[in-house]
Amino acid sequence: MACCSAAVAGELRRTAIVEAVERVRTSVVNIHGEKTLAEGEVPPAGMDSDRRVNGMGTGAIIDPRGYIITNHHVVDGVDPINVTLADGEECVAKLVSHDPDTDLAIIKIDVSKTLPVTPIGTSRDLMAGETVIAIGNAFGYEHTITRGIVSALHRTVQVGDNQKYEDLIQTDASINPGNSGGPLFNIDGEMIGINVAVRVGAQGIGFAIPVDKAMQIACELISAKRLQSVWHGLVVESEPSQHNPAALVVRSCDSDSPAAALGLEVGDRITRVGSLDARRPMDLERALLGKHAGDEIEIVLDREKAESKLHLKLVDLPAHLKPNDEPIWELLGLRLKPISGDDFRRYQTRYRGGLNVVAVRSGSPAARQGIRRGDVLVGMHIWETITLENVSYILNRPDFASLSPLKFYILRGNETFLGHMSVAGAKTR
Q: 260 to each of 13, 300, 310, 311, how far by Cα in Å?
A: 55, 15, 12, 12
CA–CA dist 381, 393 (Å, integer): 12
3 state SS of 370: coil
Report the b/e string of 118-151 with b at 16+ CB within 10 A: bbbbbbeebeeeebbbbbbbbeeebbbbbbbebb
| DSSP state letters, 120-166 | B--STT--TT-EEEEEEEETTEEEEEEEEEEEEEEEEEEETTTEEEE
Residue type present at position 232: H
Report the b/e string of 173-191 with b at 16+ CB within 10 A: bbbbebbbbbbbbbeebbb
Contact 25/138 with Cβ under 8 angstroms?
no
Half-sphere exposure of 190 (CA within 13 A, CB side): 12
CA–CA dist 78, 56 (Å, integer): 10
CA–CA dist 418, 41 (Å, integer): 9
Write out the catalytic residue numbers: 73, 103, 180
Contacts 24+ apart (CB under 8 A), 290-297: 290/228, 291/224, 291/228, 291/230, 292/228, 292/230, 293/228, 293/230, 295/230, 297/273
3 state SS of 280: coil
Helices (H), 280-404: 281-287, 326-332, 341-344, 365-368, 388-395
Contact 326/227 with Cβ under 8 angstroms?
no
The residue among 277, 276, 234, 225 whose CA lies nearest residue 257 is 234
C-alpha distance across the termini of the chain, in Å: 90
CA–CA dist 211, 194 (Å, integer): 7
Half-sphere exposure of 191 (CA within 13 A, CB side): 30
